[in-house]
């Protein structure tokens, strides 16, 4: 029995329960090696409990009694992991306010739409516009090496703020190391 290769196409286990047990063990080990989930393992999901005091709130495990505090992305002693997920509605066949294209996925920002990826580098629609700054206006007119120095040192960039095509002032924006999307 052990010298022969196990027939994985056979589905009959009548009178041969040891063979079926060994075959299922082999398959589960192959699945573990390939990174596939075990058929004996699942995930249950439930909204967390929230405990509110006068000035504070605590997120509690929904599966344990008595409930204990849990923190995002950190496994608790009971095995519960609080996952935070951001969800955003996407749209198709509407015009982008930046590049005026209608192809691809777009997201709504205020009452306008823009692509989910950076379709026009250097232009953006702010959900909350940056505060106006005289220092940013001075840096905007400075040479390029000063812009690079400030971006590397403080992670900021001077930006021109416009509304409906007209300049409204200058402000500071955060410099992204990696593009989003």
User: What is the structure's pLDDT at 55?
Assistant: 87
Q: Is residue 51 part of a domain?
A: yes
Q: Is residue 50 part of a domain?
A: yes
Q: Is residue 70 part of a domain?
A: yes
State the residue range of the domain holding 158: 129-181
How far is CA 159 from each of CA 107, 138, 181, rounded to the nearest angstrom?
23, 11, 21
Dihedral of CA 101/105/90/164: which sign? negative
End residue of a domain, out of 85, 111, 142: 85
Number of folded domains in the chain?
2
User: What is the structure's pLDDT at 15?
Assistant: 55
Instruction: Say which range, 2-6, 110-114, 145-149, has the weakest mean pLDDT.
Output: 2-6
Q: Is residue 152 part of a domain?
A: yes
User: What is the structure's pLDDT at 4?
Assistant: 47
Q: Is residue 5 part of a domain?
A: no
User: What is the structure's pLDDT at 128?
Assistant: 76
For the cut 60, the answer to whether the pLDDT of residue 58 exceeds it is yes
**H or E element at residue 146:** helix 144-154
For the cut 60, the answer to whether the pLDDT of residue 2 exceeds it is no
Q: Is residue 76 part of a domain?
A: yes
Q: What is the mean pLDDT of residues 124-152?
A: 84
The 10 Å CB-count burial string (b at 16+, else e) for 38-55 is eeeeeeeeeebeeeeeee
How many helices (H) and strands (E) are present in the chain, helices listed first?
Answer: 3, 7
Q: Is residue 116 part of a domain?
A: no
For the cut 70, the answer to whether the pLDDT of residue 151 exceeds it is yes
Q: CA geometry: angle at 53 spanning 49 and 56, to 5°?
A: 85
User: What is the structure's pLDDT at 28?
Assistant: 59
State the pLDDT confidence band at 177, using cuts at 50, 70 and 90.
Answer: low
Q: Is residue 38 part of a domain?
A: no
End residue of a domain, out of 56, 85, 114: 85
State the pLDDT confidence band at 173, using cuts at 50, 70 and 90.
Answer: confident
For the cut 50, the answer to whether the pLDDT of residue 1 exceeds it is no
């Amino acid at each position: 029995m052990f010298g022969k290769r196990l027939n994985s196409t056979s589905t009959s286990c009548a009178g041969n329960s040891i063979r079926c047990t060994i075959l299922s063990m082999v398959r589960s080990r192959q699945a573990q090696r390939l990174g596939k989930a075990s058929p004996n393992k699942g995930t249950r999901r439930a909204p967390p409990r929230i405990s509110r005091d006068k000035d504070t709130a605590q997120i509690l495990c929904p599966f344990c009694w008595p409930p204990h505090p849990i923190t995002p992305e950190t496994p608790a002693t009971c095995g519960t992991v609080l996952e935070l997920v951001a969800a955003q509605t996407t749209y198709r066949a509407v015009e982008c306010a930046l590049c005026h294209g209608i192809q691809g996925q777009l997201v709504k920002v205020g009452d306008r739409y823009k692509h989910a990826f950076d379709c026009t580098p250097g232009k953006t629609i702010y959900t909350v516009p940056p505060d106006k700054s005289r220092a940013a206006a001075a840096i905007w007119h400075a040479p390029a090496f000063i812009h690079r120095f400030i971006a590397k040192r403080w992670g900021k960039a001077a930006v021109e703020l416009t509304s409906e095509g007209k300049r409204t002032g200058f402000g500071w924006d955060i410099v992204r190391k990696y593009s989003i999307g």
